[in-house]
Structure 1
Amino acid sequence: MQPNRSDQREDPRQSVPQTGAVERVSAILEALRRADGGLGVSELSRRTGISKSSVHRLVQDMSAHRLLENAGQTYQLGLRLFELGQHVPRQRDLREAAKPYMNDLREATGYSVHLAVLDGDSVVYLDVLRSPAAPPLPIQMGGRWPAHGTGIGKAILAYSSDGIVNDILAGGLARISRRTIDTPGRFIKELSRIRERGVSFDLEESRAGVVCAAAPVFDTNGEVVGGLSVSGWHNKINLDQAAAAVRTAALALSRELGRAN
């Protein structure tokens, strides 16, 4: 007996649930990561393109395994994800090695210090040490920011492979603030300048009024594995001093990582 074709047209997103379970779970997690608060089944279905029945089944299973938390009629990311994230080798090892250098850097400069790694076209912040003298930035551990629009992202990209940089350029350089470098030619020249001086600057490119100095961190093989940055108000921070301090800290951390291997 042939299936009723009208049933196949019942939901225009029928092709989405045919993807694997991992893809669907990932889509739900990503939708919740981007949300300001919890999301209900209908909204998750709309944002992911997965049918409501599949979303309903998946969020129940994910909640049972503590990947999600049920808050009434909505769902949000669960504590189990945070617990698991602490055991990611790259994150754990780099964070542990960087902690004393980040503390020294904040004490030396008086401003907020960040540790981040590149993931796709974004930087993911592994650690954030805030300072009351620094701007209250919307950056937290596990948070993401477009790599091309941050000092720390540019520091990492300056020492990344051509393939990684080309992928960033191919995806477009979205304007985050009016000072964001958003043309490929200017961006390539900026990466070249960063390699020459060993330090990257964010001159209000990610947020008006905020500047930062950043430097890359390398492993024992000389491969860039992350970056350190110091951020402050544009009219209060001494960028030359901040740049010298962050570069010294990044070099020391790189040596530490080399000894650990």
Structure 2
Amino acid sequence: MDTPAAEGLPPKSVLARGLSLLDAFGSADTELSLTELAARTGLPKPTAHRLLAELARWGGVERTDAGYRLSMRLFVLGQRAPRPRGLREAALPFMEDLYEATHENIHLAVLDGTDTLFLEKVSGRRSMPIVSRVGGRLPAYCTATGKLFLALGPPERLEHVLSAGLVHYTPHTIVMPGLLQRELARTAARGYAVNREESEAGVSAVAAPVHDHRRRVIAAISITGNVCRLDLDRLAPAVRTAARALSRELAREGADGPRPSPIDVSDLR
């Protein structure tokens, strides 16, 4: 259910062509064949093969029996990106508190284009298995985290999503623009978003926004689990408290300042 690399005219520069091959891997792709990579990027097979050989020498991809896979070097490089790493590290204590209170899947997400991108996930044996994974993405309009970015963001963001069209992921996905706009208005009014089986059958979620010091929404935290056992309205105060505490942490000046007290979620145990 991840968004694949966009098909169309291949990029012109050598660097852009090489990056397009890396970007062709979706989060659900363990490995891809040369044919699949050429098709996803629009590159001729000989060109794709030559560039993949260069990427393999650099360490960006590895050859497999079936084709190619992304290498560990890209993971190491990604860990050097300051904002996502700092955001993940700051969020983990609050996410772990929510997990201990609920034993459900806890997500940290950011907006990437028109998708919600999962930066971190905390789950365990008692959590319902779901399709999300770190580095994975889903359309913003059918996820609780994504609805926050649409509801609390600039109007042109929603216009871009609507102009691209709304696609059914489940029978419960909201695909009528008017209904989605009303749902987003409710989201903005109450300060949290819900997803009732809109991106995956049997799965619901509740999410709250994370703000920076300028009150801009930069991320979202969610609780996700089985639709039959998740009481979204009851869990909303806990996820909102976690998101607010993380917002205060991110706005705090200096890395040596005292950290906020753990959130009180004992009533959910």
Find out whether 1:222 has 2:222 as its counterpart. Answer: no
User: Which of 72, 77, 87 is the equivalent residue of 2:70?
Assistant: 77
User: Which of 157, 162, 170 is the equivalent residue of 1:177?
Assistant: 170
Asked if structure 1 preserves the Cα contact closer than 8 Å seen for 2:210 and 2:243, the reply is yes
User: Which of 84, 96, 119 is the equivalent residue of 2:89?
Assistant: 96
Match of 1:21, as an amino acid? V
Report the alpha carbon displacement of residue 169 of structure 1 after superposing the two structures with TM. Answer: 1.3
Match of 1:180, as an amino acid? T
Q: Deviations over 1:69-104 (max 9, x none)?
A: 111351111111111111222211110110111011
Asked if structure 2 preserves the Cα contact closer than 8 Å seen for 1:32 and 1:39, the reply is yes
Question: In structure 1, the residue corresponding to 2:205 is in which secondary structure?
Answer: strand
Asked if structure 1 preserves the Cα contact closer than 8 Å seen for 2:27 and 2:136, the reply is no
- 1:196-215 residue pairs with structure 2 within 5 A? 196-215=189-208
Q: State the TM-score, normalizing by the size of structure 1.
A: 0.89
Q: State the TM-score, normalizing by the size of structure 2.
A: 0.86
What is the distance in 1 between the residues matched to 2:189 and 2:162?
21
- 1:40-51 residue pairs with structure 2 within 5 A? 40-51=33-44
- 1:216-255 residue pairs with structure 2 within 5 A? 216-255=209-248
Find out whether 1:126 has 2:129 as its counterpart. Answer: no
Asked if structure 1 preserves the Cα contact closer than 8 Å seen for 2:210 and 2:247, the reply is yes
Find out whether 1:167 has 2:155 as its counterpart. Answer: no
What is the distance in 2 between the residues matched to 1:224 and 1:17?
34
Report the alpha carbon displacement of residue 260 of structure 1 after superposing the two structures with TM. Answer: 3.9
Deviates more, 1:213-222 or 1:63-72: 63-72
Report the alpha carbon displacement of residue 246 of structure 1 after superposing the two structures with TM. Answer: 0.4
Q: How many residues align?
A: 247
What is the distance in 2 between the residues matched to 1:260 and 1:181?
41
Report the alpha carbon displacement of residue 140 of structure 1 after superposing the two structures with TM. Answer: 1.1
User: Which of 172, 183, 189 is the equivalent residue of 2:182?
Assistant: 189
Question: In structure 1, the residue corresponding to 2:24 is in which secondary structure?
Answer: helix
Match of 1:227, as an amino acid? A
Deviates more, 1:234-243 or 1:220-229: 234-243
Match of 2:59, as an amino acid? R
What is the distance in 1 between the residues matched to 2:253 and 2:130?
32
Asked if structure 1 preserves the Cα contact closer than 8 Å seen for 2:10 and 2:41, the reply is no
User: Which of 144, 155, 169 is the equivalent residue of 1:151?
Assistant: 144
Deviates more, 1:20-29 or 1:207-216: 20-29
Find out whether 1:39 has 2:64 as its counterpart. Answer: no
What is the distance in 2 between the residues matched to 1:238 and 1:18?
47
Report the alpha carbon displacement of residue 38 of structure 1 after superposing the two structures with TM. Answer: 2.1
What is the distance in 2 between the residues matched to 1:157 and 1:74?
38
Gaps spanning 5+ residues in structure 1: where? Answer: 1-14
Sequence identity (%) = 41
C-alpha RMSD over aligned residues: 1.8
Match of 2:136, as an amino acid? G
Asked if structure 1 preserves the Cα contact closer than 8 Å seen for 2:11 and 2:17, the reply is no
Asked if structure 2 preserves the Cα contact closer than 8 Å seen for 1:133 and 1:232, the reply is no
Gaps spanning 5+ residues in structure 2: where? Answer: 1-7, 255-269
